[in-house]
Structure 1
Amino acid sequence: MVNTEKFAERLQKVMDFYGESASSFAEKIGVQRSSISHILSGRNKPSLEFVLKILSSFPEVELYWLLNGKGTFPAESEPNVNIDTSQDPIQNSAVNKKMVPANPQEKIIERIVIFYSDGSFENFQN
């Protein structure tokens, strides 16, 4: 069971980390301002929907940390993967080759789409 008082402290820590007021935080996660106030005061317990909205809006928040204080905040990020673009990635990748699974019932990759932050994308098909 979630300790409501400790949850409220962790919620306040998240809001402070992002520099959000209760109103702006509520707006970002899509809940009423009163929901934040009631949880911070200990009047209400957080619902599953409330917790999921926080996780969806703030991916640096780990579920186990938010619920029971175990883990880290902010979440440790995945290491960045550097892609060597000096060569044609299609010519040197398994995407350009038919992938034959060891088991005939396994799924085969047919298409990979890479979306870039500028809105462009690349489509790779077998």
Structure 2
Amino acid sequence: MTDLLPRIKELLTWAGGGPAAFADAIGLPRPVMSHILSGRNKPSLEVVQKILAGFPEVQANWLLLGQGEMLKSLDSSSLTQAPSALSHEAAAFSGAGNEKGESAKSIKGEEPAEDALKSGSPTLHKKVKQVLFIYEDGTFDSFQSNE
């Protein structure tokens, strides 16, 4: 079986944001990510599952076996938009909004939740899996869905 570490590093580079943001995005403790990247520990099944859940566009066969392409869909729009996924999530949770009370999503020009409800946006069918609050002092709280 091939080693997962090079593919995890490739995915980390593709996602952008660095190891801490990657670990936060998939709900993995930062030290665990650090130990995997340093080669101290091998990624567990739980880590692989969290990566695949956090990045559903990643092919499981590619991550596990090194077979096929990294992404399920290789159209140019997904390749150019996906690396900002971590920075977008970090922006969404870095604060409730700016000084004017605007949410991070409305600053980025995306539909606020109320507009999404009216427009029938496909995001309405998404279920929240995890919410992560990152505080200024470097601590964080993570809340997981029971579903």
Match for residue 55 of structure 2 among 55, 58, 66:
58
Q: What does residue 117 of structure 1 align with?
A: 122
State the AA in 1 paired with 2:122: S
Kindly, what percent of the aligned residue pairs are identical?
Answer: 42
State the AA in 1 paired with 2:25: K
Q: What does residue 29 of structure 1 align with?
A: 26
Q: Distance in 1 between matches of 2:123 and 2:10?
A: 32
1:68 matched to 2:55 = no
Unaligned segments of structure 2, at least 5 residues: 76-119, 126-147
Unaligned segments of structure 1, at least 5 residues: 79-114, 121-126
Q: What does residue 82 of structure 1 align with?
A: none
Q: Which has the higher helix share?
A: 2
Q: What does residue 41 of structure 2 align with?
A: 44
Spell out, residue by residue over 1:68-126, the C-alpha distance to the aligned partner (whole angstroms, 9 max, x if none): 21111122269xxxxxxxxxxxxxxxxxxxxxxxxxxxxxxxxxxxx743638xxxxxx
* TM-score, reference length from structure 2: 0.49
* SS of residue matched to 1:75: coil
State the AA in 2 paired with 1:64: N
Q: 1:39 to 1:116 in 2, by over 3 A?
A: same
Q: Distance in 1 between matches of 2:70 and 2:33?
A: 19
Higher relative contact order (CA 8 A, sep 6+): 2
Q: 1:76 to 1:47 in 2, by over 3 A?
A: same
For these two proteins, the number of residue pairs brought into alignment is: 81
Q: Distance in 1 between matches of 2:124 and 2:73?
A: 26
Q: 1:116 to 1:21 in 2, by over 3 A?
A: same
* SS of residue matched to 2:63: helix
